[in-house]
Chain A
Amino acid sequence: MAVDTTEAAAASEAARQAMGGIGVSLARKEDARFIHGQGHYVDDVVLPGMLHMVIVRSPHAHARIKGIHSSAAMAIPGVVAVVTGELLAQHKLAWMPTLSGDTQAVLATDKVRFQGQEVACVIAETKYIAEDAAQLVTVDYEPLQAITTPQQAIAPGAIVIRDEKEGQTDNKIYHWEAGDKDATDAAFARAAKVVSLETFYPRCHPSPLETCGCVADLDPVTGNATIYMTSQAPHAHRTLFAIVAGLPEEKIRIISPDLGGGFGNKVPIYPGYVVATAASLLIGRPVKWIEDRTDNLISTGFARDYYMDGSVAIDENGKFIGLRVNLLSDNGAFFADAQPSKFKAGLFHIVTGSYDIPAAHIVANGAYTNKAPGGVAYRCSFRVTEASYFIERLVESAAVELGQDPVTTRLNNFIQPEAFPYKSASGFEYDSGNYPGAMKVALDMLGYDELRKEQAEKRAKGELMGIGVASFTEVVGAGKGKDYDIAGLRMFDSAELRVHPTGKAILKLGVKSQGQGHETTFAQIVAEELGIPASDVEVREGDTDNTPFGLGTYASRSTPVGGAATAVVARKLRDKGKIIAAHLFEADVADIEFAKGKYNVKGSPDNVKTIQDIAFAAYTNIPDGIEPGLEGVTYYDPPNMTFPFGTYLVVVDIDKGTGQVKVRRMVAVDDCGVRINPMIVEGQIHGGLTEGFGIAFMELITFDDEGNCIGSNFMDYLIPTAWETPRFELGETVTPSPHHPIGAKGVGESATVGSPAAYVNAVIDALSHLGITNIDMPITSDKVWAALRSKGVTE
């Protein structure tokens, strides 16, 4: 019997693997083309007669344009056109709207406002010729004073950067508040202790390995506009193109092919796309524009650049009773943040984090500077990263001041598992969570207590070792649409599912993978819901002609929204299948049962019709009065966000002589609800932990006083290699989302959101006994050295 049971279990497991439903670490369906070198990225698109475009950029951060001279460039054989802002202005395209309701110069006409701003475009027969000619476009500039920090920008008397904007008399962009000021003031008034932190989350950049670019192909005869572009949101981009360029939307086809990563960088519309499209229209030939790395780093969507200060009010029992945060954001020359339109600082007001803080007040102000615009969320759901960093750093400070282990401070203040759904002081309703549960798993994995002992021994010998803790909560999966929209487009998403007569399915989505494995994950949802093996489900995305309208992939919204849409549409087809099954069985629909791809009449579990039988019947033997086919579409507007969470622990050792920090261990326990493909989930976490590591220790875009960008190529914008990157130890807990059809929460960004604070807290934990309370990221060896020497520590 035992053998039989084992065999039965093995058979059942084999069936589960073959089906590839939820919970199976199915090897990815999309891998084949990539491992053969047959991935198809934008730069691989070659069209007959295609021209190449190169952008001439401003060397100055702030200057008035006196003249642009293109005759020398035009004289080079093979140069077809030099496009300037003046030419675009004739077509009302010199300026375009941004995602945050501001305007942005497509090509500068009056002034340049950041180094690297687009001034002219050269279009030529080859890219070599275009680059040669771009060198010969000369621009007369009258340099102006550059403003490189938001503090300078809002100081009285500062030169006005956006002097072309009617009514703009200073460099302020927005003022925004959340929470309850009076309640927060009252909490601080009765606090036993107030702990404060001032910190800066510096500018960094998503810099996917593939830069941005497009091939615009406007057919002068048909008027069809086909634009291959690096787009995380092709449908939204089609609509915006229709609005910006005045093109008829039904003629526009955006094709976002394989994307070599995105991380938020491929959400906005950049001037290069617009000029290439306009040029193709004017010239009548396809135009390709592909950024080089410097183009990408100096002009496209950066992230962060948030100055944050705030305090937590603590009562006599060590309980947090109030939180105040002020932030000043540096938005660059144009307010082009990619974020829901009602929220000027994104979802920063999630800053109460994992803690039950009854009163909170957040004040946010934004400023223009002579720096690149953008403010995209680099692997982050609209500024959750900055918020999570701030609260987790502040809690670390609170623990130090309370003389507590940082784990204790967190356990004392966590929102408790029974408190969900939890209404936060800044207005979110957290769907589910078990913060102490994730913390416990992480502590056990790390062997926390032993390491604390080791740290004490080392400290006695003068050696520096630290343990960092961060217990983040994210908010992902926007909308619902009533509250969250981008440029007016509500943040729902869509799935269209067709089961063909032979029982094989095609699923089309409004979201767009950039490497997250959608072709596998979403097929697995269909497998789970319909019982069609994942290997029989083809997933299509990225072509606006052939997929339903959706808002795209960013802010960890594909699984929470697109995944939900997939489950719902599959259930619709399952229900239609019941009608067909009833017809085949000559039974009543109410008596039809469905499980794992098989229909049967109640009480007759052995007489089944498979989903494949039903699919065939849907096209060959449909009951009267029922539409043929087995196909459906769902537009899913989520009832709420999802709130993934986790605990990250980091152990570091510090070299006193050089200030170098070595990450010895990194334990990450994530709870993203139900995991559809655990292998892919872990891959997402690995990637996010690495980007978080990069941000914490090396990734930086900064500027000198003249506004020259430092960090304009991969020699200076440092991305960790396999050698520096820690070896991650992953753990999990599973707390399903109660409102998501399959209980999943989205995981693409958790690790980038949660990990920077864990790394930094580890460094501070190693140094806090010396009186060192903060070092801003990136934590470079020279900063650590300076902090140590300031306390008299030397080798």
Chain B
Amino acid sequence: MFPAAFDYIAPGALDEVLSLLSQHGDDAKVLAGGQSLIPLLKLRFAAPVIVVDIGRVDGLEGVRRENGHVRIGARTRHRDVESASDLRGTLDVLLDAAPLISDPLIRNMGTVGGSVCHADPAGDWGAVMLAVGAEFVVKSAGGERVLPAAGFFEGPFTTGLHSDEVMTEIRIPVGAGRSGGTYLKLERKVGDFASVAAAVHVVLGGDGRIATAGIGLCAVGAHSIKATAAEAVLAGQEPTDAVIAEAARLAGEAAEPKADIRGSAEYKRDVARVFVQRGLHTAINRAQGAAA
């Protein structure tokens, strides 16, 4: 199985990438780790005229804290998030999600930004980014935009990213307050896409109440879903079993799953509920144990 022929270029500078993208528009595809794009090329589901490899552009990798944000270079490999152990206690959900992405070899090549931009409805990072309230820095020859994760995912493999833009960075706000999170994924085996997954991120206030809660759902709709009603019902509340159960119920209702070989819509909706319920308990326990 081989791709159809294409032109290939690997510029050394971002400006050159952006200029190529503005020149070629939809005929161009950006290649980062290639773990989503290359299979599509091989299956001939995608046949770009030119592939623009951003692998030689400096400054697109790494996880660092700066100005109240965790900043993740868009070309950072999944593996490097997995091993960013200092995120524990701040962004547990990232550390829990990263090792569940595909398999260890794919994680050595695949990139966070590539996965977010690919926007597979069953891709793990989308739900995580919605849960933590990430922002995406995207650049084009015309300038820079910062897009919130909420609203970024528009449909299967469709995002707010324009064809002349490339994502350069993911920014995740990390404020005061104790936080905890987790990622729960139902997969049929290692390497599988999610049948259902839920990302949960909770910040507790000084009074022990839930200050904010972020819940992202994966693989239960046309795109990653932010369970806003469930988030709203948690905000400002004592973290009781009852309020968690109610939030989980609302999250299940926010899911818009379709029946397929992995199970019925009812099944997936119920697993979303179960995962959010379990995830909230874990997240809150972790936050309660965390230092402010």
Contacts and interface: CB of A to CB of B under 8 A. Distances in A.
A, B assembled together: yes
Interface of A: 127-128, 131-132, 135, 292, 294, 657-660, 698, 702, 710, 715-716, 718-721, 723-724, 780-782, 785-786, 789, 794-795
A781 B190 contact: no
Nearest to A656: B274
Highest count of chain A CB atoms <10 Å: which of B4, B262, B271: B271
Interface string B258-289: 00011110010011001101100000000000
Given A131-B2, A292-B1, A785-B270, A660 B263 contact: no
Interface in B3-26: 4-5
A724 B267 contact: no
B186 A658 contact: yes
Highest count of chain B CB atoms <10 Å: which of A718, A723, A724, A781: A781
Query: Which 10 A-B pairs rank lowest in CB-CB distance, beginning with the nearest?
Result: A782-B263, A657-B274, A782-B267, A721-B190, A723-B190, A292-B1, A128-B2, A718-B189, A724-B189, A658-B271
Contacts of B68: none
Contacts of A658: 186, 271, 274-275
A660 B103 CA distance: 20
Interface string B176-203: 0000000000101111110100000000
Contacts of A659: 267
B92 to A, nearest CB: 21
A780 B263 contact: yes
A781 B189 contact: no
B261 A721 contact: no
Contacts of A131: 1-2
A138 to B, nearest CB: 15
B188 to A, nearest CB: 6
A721 B271 CA distance: 23
B44 interface: yes
B264 A786 contact: yes
Contacts of B275: 658
B242 to A, nearest CB: 16
A795 B44 CA distance: 43
Contact of B4 (A132, A292, A719, A785): A132
Contacts of A724: 189-190
A698 B263 contact: no
Interface of B: 1-2, 4-5, 44, 103, 186, 188-193, 195, 261-264, 267, 270-271, 274-275, 277-278
Contacts of A127: 2
B186 A721 contact: no
B196 to A, nearest CB: 8
A131 B3 CA distance: 9
A477 B2 CA distance: 42
Interface of chain A, helix or strand or loop or mixed?
A: loop
Nearest to A131: B2
A718 B2 contact: no
Contacts of A721: 103, 189-191
Given A702-B261, A785-B267, A780 B189 contact: no
Given A660-B186, A721-B190, A786 B267 contact: yes
Given A131-B1, A132-B4, A720-B189, A785 B263 contact: yes
B186 A718 contact: no
Contacts of B4: 132, 135
Contacts, number: 61
A720 B189 CA distance: 7
Contacts of B2: 127-128, 131
Contacts of A780: 188, 262-263
Highest count of chain A CB atoms <10 Å: which of B193, B262, B264, B267: B267
A549 B29 CA distance: 56
Given A723-B189, A785-B271, 18 more contacts: A128-B2, A131-B1, A132-B4, A658-B274, A659-B267, A698-B188, A698-B189, A702-B261, A715-B193, A721-B191, A723-B190, A724-B190, A781-B186, A782-B267, A785-B263, A785-B267, A786-B264, A795-B277
Contact of B261 (A294, A657, A710, A720): A710
Contacts of B195: 781-782
A483 B267 CA distance: 51
A724 B192 CA distance: 12
Contacts of B271: 657-658, 785
Contacts of B5: 132
A718 B193 CA distance: 12
A718 B263 contact: no
A616 to B, nearest CB: 54
B264 A657 contact: no
16 contacts: A131-B1, A131-B2, A135-B4, A657-B271, A658-B274, A659-B267, A698-B189, A710-B261, A716-B261, A721-B190, A781-B188, A782-B262, A782-B263, A785-B271, A789-B270, A795-B277
Nearest to B39: A715
A316 B215 CA distance: 60
A53 B173 CA distance: 55
Contact of B192 (A294, A718, A786): A718
A275 to B, nearest CB: 19
A710 B263 CA distance: 14
A657 B270 CA distance: 8
Nearest to B267: A782
Contacts of B193: 715
Contacts of A660: 186
A250 to B, nearest CB: 38
B190 A795 contact: no
Contacts of B191: 721
A710 B261 CA distance: 8
Contact of A782 (B103, B189, B264): B264
Nearest to A132: B4
Contacts of A789: 270
Nearest to B260: A710
A571 B155 CA distance: 73
A566 to B, nearest CB: 40
B82 to A, nearest CB: 15
Contacts of A794: 270
Contacts of B270: 785, 789, 794
